[in-house]
Structure 1
Amino acid sequence: MAVSLDIDLLRSFAHVAESGALSRAAERVGRSQAALSMQMKRLEDIVGQPLLTRTGRGVVLTVHGERLLVHARRILASHDDALAELSGGRLDGTLRFGCPDDYADAFLPALLRSFAQLHPAVVIEVVCAATPRLVSRYERGGLDLALVSVPLDAERAILRREALVWVGAKDGATDWPDPLRLALGDPDTLDHRAALSALSRAGRNYRIAYASGSLAGLLAVVRSGQAIAVLTQAAVPGDLRILARTAGLPPLPKIGLVVRLDEGHASPLTRAFAGHIRSLLPVL
């Protein structure tokens, strides 16, 4: 007998994955923790694989759970979009969305264009800034949701993993002077912290030639050949080059992208756009 993935089970599973705890997820879906636990057991029986591992701090996804989550997000987004369109319930209104500067060119056009095709009456106000500024604005109520960068070990619900890379001018030097000249974001940003940590561990001398929240200013310094920078690989402009390990630079960590929103109080429009991001971002 053929089996199928129930939308209600997938939605509950996505909430568990997002919250990292059955108790918090139960509040979001309006069920008891015991009922939600039974749902997760039923879903595991359907797919024939363990999906969750319980720890003292909550639950974490197994390898099979991570794989199912990717499919679940796509299925839920397609389901909700189809239901909204066919029932005449196309969304409208205004949404305030925060996106890190370095992802504006890489991801925003595809996200906004495809959502506008589904919901042409929606107006999305985009705020681009460094992640710490977006988090602060979101927590003050100035954004409905935000796409932010986090260390990989800081979150469970990572939508996309990105490598941090060293970047220099295309025609710049290949033999970097000592001390190394850096152009970095603000001191509280992941690129700044990762660069200094990696260089300190490697015992490499450096000097910060430029540190600012202005991505345009940072890129201008790099294009001039006066310094090198750290960017996420997907955000490297075509006129800059990723510096190979042969340049004598230490390896950098990967970071993750997550969506920040209050599921319990988010509007249908906010939830719909968050689902759209979750379905598209991993494959962009």
Structure 2
Amino acid sequence: MSRDLDPDLLRCFVAVAETRTLGRAAARIGRTQAAASMQVKKLETLIGQPLLHRGARGVTLTHHGERLLGHARTLLQQHDAALAELTGAGLTGTLRFGCPDDYAAAFLPRILRGFAGRHPQAVVDVVCAPSPRLEERLRRHELDLALVSTADGAEPALRREPLVWVGLRDDEGAAREPLRLALSDPDTLDHRAACERLDAAGVAYRVAYASAGMAGLLAVVRSGQAIAVLTQSAVPADLRILAPDTRLPALPAVGVLVRTALPRPAALVAEFVRHLHEVVSSA
């Protein structure tokens, strides 16, 4: 039997190790669960050691599996990068990318267009959700990487984005008593910043509308029923930024950064991270 580490076997093993179930791993690599199980067993035979503990709730790595995982990720990254460079065809595969709605509106068309031009065979699955929800999905390895917001200055960021009050043009929504707000999830930075600054200023308000998606928030603002908080780059042309005053305290900025599910991501993910740095930092 050949003692070579077949990249297909390693790719299957890494998928199993990251998803912790054969079913999800099989879906990621485009195989049946039975085929994925067979590939792992073939790799175990080749290594001569068990790599997985199989249980009712999924799989965990053995000591030998943990040791192999780091080597497998390194080998696959080098393999994919070398193949892309030598063939000139770009990287292939599928990556799962998370992005908040406001950054999707501001940056996503340029991100996807540029990456597709370099790597036309790659597939990018995009998930739009607030940053805390994306962080949760990264921890569960349901995403490979995501753009997320963090408190300004908390971590090195690609860029700073001011948070701004947004209302309908020629509307007096900001003068209502109490102030009516349309905000995202309570644990998001925009929601927390709005409430904390209004509380500190002693301004009466109520969260009249809530939506995890920007489309819902914008619909409320366009109806004239409330004002919202957005990142400055995401404010559409038909709405206006409301200048801070005695009733609308100045809002902080947030940092925009990239998080990956793994500290040593695969070649395709690492290349997408580099592309994000180029696009988002210069947009």
TM-score bracket, normalised by the shorter chain, equals 0.5 to 0.7
Taking a change above 3 Å as real, the CA distance of residues 138 and 87 of structure 1, as seen in their structure-2 partners, is same
Query: CA–CA distance in 2 between the matches of 1:247 and 1:106?
Result: 29
Shift of 1:108: 0.2
Query: Hey, what does 1:25 align to over in structure 2?
Result: none
Query: Hey, what does 2:94 align to over in structure 1?
Result: 94
Query: Hey, what does 2:139 align to over in structure 1?
Result: 139
- Alpha-carbon displacement from aligned partner over 1:211-252 (angstroms, at most 9, x marks no partner): 221322211111111110100000111111000124741000
Rg (Cα) greater in structure:
2
Contact preservation (8 Å) 2:167, 2:240: yes
Shift of 1:173: 1.1
Q: For residues 229-268 of structure 1, what are the structure 2 equivalents within 5 Å?
A: 229-246=228-245, 248-262=247-261, 264-268=263-267
Query: Hey, what does 1:71 align to over in structure 2?
Result: none
SS at match of 1:245: coil
* Amino acid paired to 1:132: P
Q: Is the aligned partner of 1:204 residue 2:203?
A: yes
Shift of 1:86: 6.2
Query: CA–CA distance in 1 between the matches of 2:164 and 2:263?
Result: 37
Number of equivalences:
204
Query: Hey, what does 1:218 align to over in structure 2?
Result: 217
Runs of 4 or more above 2 Å deviation: 83-89, 245-248, 262-265
**Taking structure 2 as the reference length, what is the TM-score of the superposition?**
0.68
Query: CA–CA distance in 2 between the matches of 1:166 and 1:214?
Result: 17
* Amino acid paired to 2:137: R
Shift of 1:85: 4.8
Contact preservation (8 Å) 1:97, 1:146: yes
- Alpha-carbon displacement from aligned partner over 1:128-170 (angstroms, at most 9, x marks no partner): 0111111111110100001000001321x21110000000011
Shift of 1:280: 1.5
Greater mean alpha carbon deviation, residues 171-180 or residues 93-102: 171-180
* Amino acid paired to 1:149: S
- Alpha-carbon displacement from aligned partner over 1:168-203 (angstroms, at most 9, x marks no partner): 011311661221110000101111000001101111
Query: CA–CA distance in 1 between the matches of 2:133 and 2:171?
Result: 31
Shift of 1:268: 0.2
Identity of aligned residues (%): 59
Greater mean alpha carbon deviation, residues 107-116 or residues 146-155: 146-155
Shift of 1:99: 0.3
Query: CA–CA distance in 2 between the matches of 1:207 and 1:163?
Result: 23
SS at match of 2:275: helix
Q: For residues 154-169 of structure 1, what are the structure 2 equivalents within 5 Å?
A: 154-155=154-155, 157-169=156-168
5+ residue gaps in structure 1? 1-80
CA RMSD across the alignment:
2.2
5+ residue gaps in structure 2? 1-80
